[in-house]
């Protein structure tokens, strides 16, 4: 069975490369820019503490919540100053990757 292969030329730091694009690469989900007002988790984990509530004013870099993921405690910080519109999670809740945790305005 013949398959059509796709090749891509790359130039990295002055060195030319040619690579074959796999079917897995071509069928991957396309990247889309995340809405910064929607704070989601990048790893599956468990919510430990929530430091804000709906209606709170936060400044950029302020702690929003802590999340245990891969045996590490991750502190999630506000990406910008604003108001907490809604908190969607509770302490002790187990989250899948990409779960909406907090909405900011």
Number of domains within the chain? 1
Tracing tokens 């899948």 back to the chain, one arrives at 96
Domain that holds residue 80: 38-104
Query: Would residue 64 count as lying in a domain?
Result: yes
Interatomic CA distance for residues 79 and 57, integer angstroms: 13
Query: Would residue 32 count as lying in a domain?
Result: no
Alpha helices, H only, the chain: 23-26
Query: Would residue 57 count as lying in a domain?
Result: yes
pLDDT tens, per residue, the chain with 105 residues:
445 667 889 899 999 999 888 888 888 888 888 898 999 998 999 999 999 999 999 999 999 999 999 999 999 999 999 999 999 999 999 999 999 999 999
Residue 11 burial (CB count, 10 A): 8
Q: What is the CATH number of the domain that holds 89?
A: 2.40.50.100
Query: Would residue 17 count as lying in a domain?
Result: no
Query: Would residue 9 count as lying in a domain?
Result: no
Beta bridge partners of 50: 65
Interatomic CA distance for residues 27 and 105, integer angstroms: 34
Query: Would residue 97 count as lying in a domain?
Result: yes
Which residue in 39, 96, 34, 90 sits closest to 62, CA to CA? 39
- The reported pLDDT for the residue numbered 1 is 46
């Amino acid at each position: 069975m013949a398959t059509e292969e796709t090749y891509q030329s790359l130039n990295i730091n002055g060195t030319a490369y040619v690579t074959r694009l796999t079917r897995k690469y071509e069928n991957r989900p396309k990247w889309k820019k995340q809405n910064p007002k929607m704070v989601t988790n990048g790893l599956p984990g468990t919510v430990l503490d929530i430091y804000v509530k709906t209606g709170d004013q936060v400044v950029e870099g302020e702690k929003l919540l802590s999340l245990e993921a891969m045996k590490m405690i991750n502190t999630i910080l506000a990406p910008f100053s604003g108001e907490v519109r809604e908190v969607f999670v509770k302490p002790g809740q187990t989250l899948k990757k990409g779960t909406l945790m907090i909405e900011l305005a």
